[in-house]
Amino acid sequence: MKKILYTALMAMVLGLSSCLDDLNQEPIVESGADDVYGSAYGCKQALGKLYVSYVIAGQEFGGGDADLSTSGSESFDFMRCYINLQEACTDEMVYTWASGDNLLDVTYISWDTTDPWVTDCYYRIYYTIALCNDFLKHTTDGAISGFTAQERADVETYRAEARFMRALSYWYVLDLFGQGPYVDENTPNVDYSPEAYDATQLFDYIESELLAIEDVLAEPKTNEYGRADRAAAWALLARLYLNAEVYTGTNRSTDCIAYCKKIISPGIYSLERNYASLFNADNHLRTNEIIYAFPVDATTTVSWGATTYLCSGAVSNDNSVQDPANYGLTSGWGSYRVRGEFSALFGEGASAIDNSADSRCMLFTNSGAIAQYLDNGVEDDATGFRSEKWTNLTDAGEAASNTQSNGVSTDFPVFRLADVYLMAAEAVLRGGTGYTRADALGFLNELRERAYGDQSGNITDAQMNLDYIIDERGRELYLECVRRTDLIRFGLFTGDRYLWQWKGGVLNGRGVDNRYNVYPIPANETAVNSNLSNPNY
């Protein structure tokens, strides 16, 4: 049965809920902390709530009984917010209903401290941090002293996983906001304003946590599916180090390579032969390449965000344009398309896209009836090709669920081997040691050979430079929530070095202020915590 962790644990639905007016509050355990944490089984159930907090919005089917009150008209999970903040502001995605769904400011990179998507994402991240802190507070050595030796050992592993998820959440804070309040299991719950951590403090905290738990987490590929292991921590460390110069001003490329090597060198992971199968409803079977994923299931974790958004949102809401059944869907939402600058990474014009030899070029052009570029504005859905990367199809080509009532069963890969290859290669080009240029070229050409089915797409050492890396990351990792982070690292997100249509809100694009390299702390947070401020906003 797919989704071992979630099918086993989400039967509990603990009733952990929260309505965060500020970060002084903690999750409310309706059944009582003693009932929840009084047994090793209860602790494992509580752990499940931590994991699932990334992909669902509430306790009931499809997000009902919401965990948080939100700024918008609907309650969306963390992943839908995160997808929009990482993709809709870049050259990859354009959101069709931007004005109606309050995404114009994100689309144009012109948000302010009251933006609803920024605000909701911020509180979703801190909700997960609050859950992790609550778990750690109730599973101390003293609290579990009555458990058996094996149960105590199990809970020690659970605690390491909770610390991993908290570190991952703080990485989201660091990467998106560049600062944020610091709270842990020892933070008072009332009459206390959390200290503000700047980017360097957040970086140091995340690094120290991951280093502290890496040997406590399960060995790679030995944990239940959907739970973090050492390789997940190594991948997060590699990503942290790759972006260290953005966060702290210090190049940590050699450290990035060291942690990429921990994943690559043992040969435990390998590239999945069929790229498309990494993004279908049976992608839980791709543990050869997928290091850590957020499981999404149409029975136990129904969401109208997460990968339901990625799958259904990409398909036209006009069945005469696209047949949703071809993607394992009941209907298409027509929520987003890809921008012309991104699709141009595979070729100019519908003919080039339709005939691309690169198997990653999974774009729908409607035989050229859709224009590649957004000349008529961001909300004209006759412009911008559509992604066919994410589907709700099984390996047998059948629909995994009825998406009209159940959402999809496609997991979201947070880390996979292909990204580790790309990080290692980039770190070499940024001066890191531990791998050579020949190693880097080998990693890149392994990806090219998977994409082309042979060596016809391979590149030479002379072609391997940072400009190539940012384009190849686009081709390999599009709509996987890394694009904004990548563009910032390459100095291309703000300013005018790289323009795409409607960047800054004008047809041909324009440079935007560097303050937009981070999102602002929401205004209602700075209003209640004097330690927080947005000097650039």
β-bridge partners, 179: 198
Q: Is the pLDDT of residue 275 over 70?
A: yes
Amino acid at 94: V
Query: What mean pLDDT value characterizes the chain?
Result: 92
What is the per-residue pLDDT for 76? Answer: 83
Q: What is the structure's pLDDT at 324? A: 97
pLDDT at 88 over 50: yes
Contact 181, 523 (CB under 8 A): no
How do 290-294 and 412-416 pair as beta strands?
A: antiparallel
pLDDT tens digits, one per residue of 338-363: 999 999 999 999 999 999 999 999 99
pLDDT band at 34 (very low <50, low <70, confident <90, very high): confident
pLDDT band at residue 18 using 50, 70 and 90 as cut-offs:
very low
What is the mean predicted confidence (pLDDT) over 291-320? 94
Give the pLDDT mean for 247-255. 98
pLDDT at 165: 98
What is the pLDDT, as a whole number, of residue 72? 56
Question: How do 16-17 and 28-29 pair as beta strands?
Answer: antiparallel
Position 63 confidence tier, pLDDT thresholds 50, 70, 90: low
Give residue 61's pLDDT band: very low, low, confident or very high (50, 70, 90). low
Q: Give the pLDDT mean for 378-388.
A: 97
pLDDT more than 90, % of the chain: 87
Model confidence pLDDT, tens digit, residues 162-205: 999 999 999 999 999 999 999 999 998 888 899 999 999 999 99
Instruction: Report the candidate in 37, 8, 46, 423 with the shortest Cα–Cα distance to residue 226.
Output: 8
pLDDT at 7: 32
Mean pLDDT (whole number) for 406-426? 97
Compute CA distances 219 → 201, 211, 232, 266, 465, whole Å: 29, 14, 10, 12, 34
pTM of the full structure = 0.93
Distances in Å between the Cα of 232 and the Cα atoms of 267, 293, 300, 341, 494 are 15, 9, 23, 32, 30
Is 12's pLDDT higher than 50? no
**Residue 2, pLDDT score:** 43
